[in-house]
Structure 1
Amino acid sequence: MISLLGMLAALGLLIWLAYRGVSVLVLAPVMALAAVLAAPGEPVMASYTQVFMPAAAEFIARFFPLFLLGAVFGRLMDHTGSARVIADAAARRLGPGQASLAVVIACAVLTYGGVSLFVVAFAIYPVADALFRQADLPRRLIPAAVALGAFTFTMTALPGTPAIQNAIPMPYFSTTPFAAPGLGLIAAAVMLGLGQAWISWRLRRAKALGQGYDHGAPQLTPAIGAPGETGTRAGDPPLWLAVAPIALVLAGNYVFSTIVFGAMDAPYLAEPRFGATDIGAVRGLWAIIAALTLAIAVLLAVHVRRLASPAATLGAGANTALLPIFNTASLVGFGAVAAGLPAFELVRAAIDGLGGGPVLGLAVSASVLAGMTGSASGGMSIALDALGAGYLEQARAAGISPELLHRVAALATGGLDALPHNGAVVTLLAVCGLTHRQAYGDIFMVAVVIPVAALAAVVVLGGLFGAF
């Protein structure tokens, strides 16, 4: 019991200090060791060097290509003006009265097309800020609009999304990015519909109270400098050319996962030097890597004249990937240490005691671990490493499709992950120049409460109708 209280106290401190602005890169190892100290008989240094560090390193080794390619692709979309063109097109078509929806749609298009959500925050904020200023809307709601478009349905629900949260379950369940597309679309509709309804209600309430753009002046300076302006600039590509790389990522993802790698016979993968695996376990990851690489090559070829220095742009994109992946890996290390403590067995026993079969068990365990680590990808990796094989065996025995497990795992880690210590939340608030106290409440509604409701709907529908 003391160990459990210590683990919960360490998690609480991690969340509270992150809320206060302390870096999770520093917090995660410190709080992991604090949890170990509260567990009698647990070795402190071994927990750090033999558990925390290997878990963090394995996450980086496994998923660095996705962080790197997503960041480079996003930086190219930004520097070529493509992201700005897409955001401006959404704003013009919806009008100034729908500024929040324009931000949501622009973020959704970019993230569904493979742009890293960290990059989206930097690329969209100047346009979002200008739209909210012109419409005299409280800027404290900009992070919620960005979070809804970038952190929710395009990350975990939409079939084929190249987001890492949709890629992680594939090796465990031998699925593709298009697993359970019908359930994914239903979950996406719930998140988008309820999330936008919440933001619209908050905007109407602010207007009724006479609260405009400057209400509650920010305490911080936006991370990207002065507010931006709407409207395309001379030299920006036409809309069809701006959208083309995103369409290429989506189409390439499908072709590579279902046709190219799906039909490949790769017996060499069974060799120990290649991880003693099979094509079913790696084709989804390979497909996303190949699709993003192809889109990056096309962007460079088509827009080379729009880039002042292609090499500098590639370097800047690569650098953008470093902080997000190290933040996430550090949180994965925290989760791995927590999962190895005796207290975690109590948590696992409590989850198993819920009953309801492997689908509900996976949903709860992945959600809890995502909340503990403050990371969808980190929590999912830990949950599937520890419990994935067992849930898959139970599902097969019960005649449950692995595709349902894939979609539930992805959705489950896209709710509680967005607690205050989440790296993306911290980055988004810094980009917008707002504090947790000013803007986190609305992020919590659209990125935590509503995605959990969407997960519950999918668990119920999956139990009634299976994967579809």
Structure 2
Amino acid sequence: MLDAAIVVAVLGLLIWLAYRGISVLVLAPVLALLAAGLSGQPVLATLTQIFMQAAGNFIVLLFPLFLLGAVFGKMMEASGSATSIARATTGWLGRERAILSIVLACAILTYGGVSLFVVAFAVFPVAAALFREAGVSRRLIPATIGLGAFTFTMTALPGTPAIQNLIPMPFFGTTPFAAPGIGLIAGAVMLGVGQAWLSWRERSLRRAGEGYEAPAAALPEGGSTLRREIRERAQGEGFDTLELSPLDRSEAHGMAQSDLPGFGIAALPIVLVVALNLVMLNLVLPALDTAYLAEPPFGPTTLSSVQGMWAIIAALSLSILATWALNRRRLAAPGKTLSEGANASVLPIFNTAALVGFGAVIAGLPAFEVIRNAMLGMAPGNPLISLAISVSVLAGITGSASGGMGIALQTMGETYLASGAAAGISPELLHRVTTIATGGLDALPHNGAVISLLTICGLTHREAYGDIFVVAVLGPILSLVVAIALGTMLGSF
């Protein structure tokens, strides 16, 4: 009982301190060692032999994907491609469909592998101008961006290069296109629920007399003060998040509107990521002689175990080169852009690796065996339910989709793969349910992406989080239930 209380207390501390803004790079090792010490485990051995080993293995396994994804996103941002796609999408649909146009703009960018943080910074000025012109309440902007960037393109759509769709590959021997039919249906549920909610909220706020700016009486106590503080903090980082128009913002980055690439040029690298991934998986890699993979220096392993990783590495690498070739005139300092993208990959992978190390330490404590058995015993006849709950809960606790997934797969991935095989469940279905399960509870208030999005938009949790909760928590959870039901009845498709 005491050991279980220690685990619960440490997890509670992780949530609370992360919400207070303390980096998980500090929290994860400190709290992991605290839990080990209180449980009677040797602290230094826990640090060097468990925490560091698990964190290091995660980095070794997935560093190329984090690196290439961040570089690609930075190239899309620096070339003006992200802004061009956002403007073109909103221009086609017009202000009458302001919410849908922003959702689709975010979806296009994130499905192409652009970081959700880059998307938020690129799309917010466009959304602010469009919502102001259409008279849509600005408090809906965070949920609108969140629906397009944090949900279906991150976890459900087959082929997305989002890291949440790539982490399961080495554990299950799958590809980014695992269980495509279930992914598409789950994605449609997320989009449908989120869009229906935001449309209803738009109408409700209009009937209440709230336009782009909420009436003074509708603002929560202290809201204006906190908004001013957020503006000042954002300006200190170089972003005037509340005042810049789309044109001002692009010019602030050294690019006038006339210098932006056309939509075709801007979107081509995104198309290439998906298309090249498919070509590598189905044509190029199967045609190679990979008998050398059976030799000791390379594992030994098989092509099926690594082809998903190889395909996305090749697709992202070639798409980065294509982005540079298409935008050579716009990328005045490609070396600097490359370095900035590489630097931007470091913090996300180390944050996630630290959480994986934390999970490995917790998994080694006596109390975890009880927790693990309880999770595995939730639905002994259907591992999909246990897998979904485990990943969802861990993502919620850590406030990180990739972190929660990393902990679950690192500690129980082999068990779920074996139990899935025994129950006739394919690795592809396990992959898709795992990715969908990372969405939902990961978007609780302490999530770093949620906090950053609200800061970019200059709004507080009290003003805007309720709508984020519906589109980024409830919608994905409903889609997860649908995915599990379909997978149970029909298998992977």
TM-score by length of 1: 0.93
- Structure 1 pair 467/34, CA: closer, same or farther in 2 (3 Å)? same
What are the equivalent positions in structure 2 for 1:20-419 lying under 5 Å apart?
A: 20-39=20-39, 41-215=40-214, 216=219, 217=224, 218=227, 219-221=229-231, 222=234, 224-226=238-240, 227-230=243-246, 233-355=257-379, 356-419=381-444
Partner of 1:439: 464
Q: How big is the shift at 1:335? A: 2.1
Counterparts of 2:360 and 2:474, CA distance in 1: 25
How much does 1:465 deviate?
A: 0.8
Q: Distance in 2 between matches of 1:23 and 1:381?
A: 18
Q: Secondary structure at 2:259's aligned position in 1? A: coil
- Give, in whole Å, the separation in 1 of the partners of 2:410 and 2:18: 26
- Residues 122 and 224 of structure 1 are in contact (CA less than 8 Å); yes or no, is this contact kept in structure 2? no
| Amino acid corresponding to residue 166 of structure 1 in structure 2 | N
Give the superposition deviation at 1:90: 1.4
Code of the aligned partner of 1:370: A
1:17 aligns with: 17
Deviation at 1:437, TM superposition (A): 4.2
Q: Deviations over 1:273-319 (max 9, x none)?
A: 33332211111111111111111101111211112211111122222
- Alpha-carbon spacing, 1:118–1:265, altered in 2? closer, same or farther (3 Å): farther
Which whole-Å CA distance do the structure 1 matches of 2:7 and 2:205 have between them? Answer: 40
CA contact (8 A) 2:355 2:398 kept: yes
What is the deviation of 1:37? Answer: 4.2
Letter of the aligned partner of 2:425 in structure 1?
I
Distance, in Å, in 2 between the alignment partners of 1:263 and 1:364 is 39
CA contact (8 A) 1:412 1:455 kept: yes
In structure 2, what is the Cα distance between the partners aligned to 1:132 and 1:7?
45
Tell me how far 1:109 sits from its aligned partner. 0.3
Compared CA separation, residues 175 and 432, structure 1 to 2 (3 A): same
Distance 1:144 1:49, change over 3 A: farther
In the superposition, relative to structure 1, how do residues 207 and 174 fare at CA in structure 2: closer, same or farther (>3 Å)?
A: same
For 2:131, give the aligned amino acid. Answer: F
Aligned Cα RMSD in Å? Answer: 2.2
- The CA deviation at 1:172 is 2.4
Please tell me whether the aligned partners of residues 253 and 287 of structure 1 are also in contact (alpha carbons under 8 angstroms).
yes
> Does the CA contact (< 8 Å) of 1:118 and 1:324 recur in 2?
no
What SS is found at the alignment partner of 1:198? helix
Are the counterparts in 1 of residues 377 and 386 from structure 2 also a CA contact under 8 Å?
Answer: no
Specify the alignment match of 2:252 in structure 1. Answer: none
Q: Distance in 1 between matches of 2:288 and 2:383?
A: 31
Structure 2 distance, partners of 1:31, 1:200, is 43
Cα distance in structure 1, aligned partners of 2:476 and 2:25: 26
Give, in angstroms, the shift of residue 38 of structure 1: 4.0
Structure 2: tracts of 5 or more residues without a match = 248-255
Among all aligned residue pairs of Structure 1 and Structure 2, give the percentage whose two residues are the same amino acid: 60
TM-superposed CA distance for 1:340, in Å, is 2.1
- For 2:155, give the aligned amino acid: T
Distance 1:303 1:66 in 2: 23
The DSSP-based 3-state class of the residue aligned with 1:234 is helix
Deviation at 1:104, TM superposition (A): 1.2
The Cα of 1:345 is off from its aligned counterpart by: 1.6
Distance 1:27 1:272 in 2: 38
Q: 2: CA distance between counterparts of 1:32 and 1:199?
A: 40
More displaced 10-residue stretch of structure 1: 193-202 or 225-234? 225-234
Q: 1:28 to 1:386 in 2, by over 3 A?
A: closer
Q: Distance in 2 between matches of 1:270 and 1:424?
A: 42
Superposed displacement of residue 33, structure 1 = 3.2
Residue identity opposite 1:45 in structure 2: L
1:8 partner letter: V
355-364 or 432-441: bigger deviation: 432-441
Q: Distance in 1 between matches of 2:287 and 2:447?
A: 38
Query: What residue identity is the alignment partner of 2:401?
Result: A
Which string of whole-angstrom CA distances, capped at 9 and with x for unpartnered residues, describes residues 107-157 of structure 1? 110111121222222222222232233334333332222221111111111
1:437 and 1:328 map into 2 onto residues whose CA distance is: 28
For the Cα contact (< 8 Å) 1:82–1:243, is it kept in 2? yes
Q: Is the 8 A contact 2:158 2:179 kept in 1?
A: yes
Cα distance in 2 for partners of 1:84, 1:34 equals: 45
Decide whether the 8 Å contact of 2:15 with 2:398 is kept in 1.
Answer: no
Q: Distance in 2 between matches of 1:328 and 1:421?
A: 15
2:472 pairs with 1:456: no
* Matched residue SS, 1:237: coil
- State the alpha-carbon separation in 2 of the partners of residues 173 and 402 from structure 1: 6
| Structure 1 contact 7–38 (Cα < 8 Å) conserved | no
With 296-305 and 28-37 compared, the bigger mean Cα shift is at 28-37
Corresponding letter in the other structure for 2:230: L
CA distance in 2, matches of 1:176, 1:424: 26
- CA deviation digits over 1:376-413, x for unaligned, max 9? 22222232233222222232233222211111111112
Q: TM-score normalized by structure 2? A: 0.88
Unmatched 5+ stretches in structure 1: none
Letter paired with 2:358: F
